[in-house]
Amino acid sequence: MEPGDHGSEHDDEPAEIKSAPPGLGPLTRRSALLGMGAVAGIAAVDVGGFAYAGGWLRPDALTPPRFADRFEHVYGQHDGFRRNHAKGLSATGSFASTGAGAAICRAAVFQPGSVPVIGRFSLGGGLPDQADKPDTVRGLGLLFQAPNGQQWRTAMINFPVFTDSTPQGFYERLLASKPVPGTGKPDPQKMAAFLDRHPETVAAMKIIKQSPLSAGFADSTFYGLNAFWFTNSAGATVPVRWSVVPRDVAGANAPGPSRGKDYLFDDLIRTLAQRPLKWRLILTIGEPGDPTNDATKPWPQSRRSVDAGTITITAVQTEEAGNARDINFDPLVLPDGITASDDPLPPARSAVYARSFTRRAEEPKSPSEVNVAQVLS
């Protein structure tokens, strides 16, 4: 779930990543983006973890362990927690399909009907006890459980584009974003040098800064960012990006006048104690020429979209054994009908997520920063 060079983590863990699909390129994962210069206002950006995608046969090659180590180098090691999006709440709910998605995808989840959903709300970054801030990236991971036993897992964030187009770019940004002792901010020269080398990140940050921030989790739109191929029952294949759009923005609770350390999560807990929250699952269909290998570039707003159904979250739970705490929201866990595109980030995320999962599964667990019972007491 995170990158690393040489850090506080075990570099010699079981090589589950070495069995990653060949030819997928190096690693990628997305985590910290500390504001400064063109990235001002963004505290941490991440979709999950970037993975080992392929064979960089160099001594300094990016590997899942080194990526995970780097997250620990930036955030410190916090046993039992994800290396990125460490702070979070588990969630449960359902997805009610309209059946419209079946026109472009044969996956069982898009057939008319309802399926269970396990989710996780989170904040980007590797600090499980960080204070909530409005400009910190918000994440939503979902696991759809289809009746045929297949699963669809996705990890989304509240930014319309990703900040990096490759695993290497993400890794370099993570290095440049490490806070300097004394200031708590990235080294201006290192960040400026990174941005000079990566104009795609500068362009993506401009798009992100122009997107208004919502009040909290309940009224956030979450984006899948990466393109995938959807194939229907007739064998026709189209590129698709997806997002989940809140159905009742007007009904979302605004933060109270006194914002505590965990106010984003506290507001989410209190809202769900009163009523369920609903999002529409929107599938956007790409056309020839739309990039499928670069998550920093948006598709035109004129692209056709399909309202595939409604995601309803009915409750959140303190992270503990048996709920979403122990789920790896691997973006390559896909049902029949959905396949990865040529985007290098999902395979990278998949491998780093696996490394992060392996590490935290072997570590002692600490209590979650956010406790549902305490908030409601």
* Per-residue model confidence (pLDDT) at position 160: 97
Q: What is the pLDDT of residues 237-256, one digit of tens each?
A: 999 999 999 997 665 555 55
- Please check whether residues 218 and 82 belong to one and the same domain: yes
Which residues are marked as active site?
A: 85
**What pLDDT score does 254 carry?**
55
1 in a domain, yes or no?
no
Task: Specify the pLDDT at position 256.
Answer: 54
The range of the structural domain enclosing residue 41 comes to 25-61
Q: Report the CATH number that the domain containing residue 185 is assigned in CATH.
A: 2.40.180.10
Q: What is the pLDDT of residues 92-135, one digit of tens each?
A: 999 999 999 999 999 999 999 999 999 999 999 999 999 999 99
What are the per-10-residue average pLDDT scores of the chain (377 residues)?
30 29 31 30 37 43 80 88 95 98 98 98 95 95 96 97 94 88 89 96 96 94 98 98 89 60 96 97 97 97 98 97 94 98 94 91 93 95
Residue 5 lies in a domain: no
Q: Let me know whether 113 and 38 are in one domain.
A: no
pLDDT confidence of residue 324: 95
Residue at 17 is within a domain: no
Q: 15 lies in a domain?
A: no
Q: Tokens 């979450």: give the residue.
A: 222
Check whether residue 166 and residue 31 sit in a common domain. no
Residues 168, 33 within the same domain: no
pLDDT of residue 60: 62
Considering the domain architecture, whether residues 184 and 292 belong to the same structural domain is answered as yes
Q: 9 in a domain, yes or no?
A: no
How many domains is the chain partitioned into structurally? 2
Inside any domain, residue 130: yes
307 and 200 together in one domain: yes
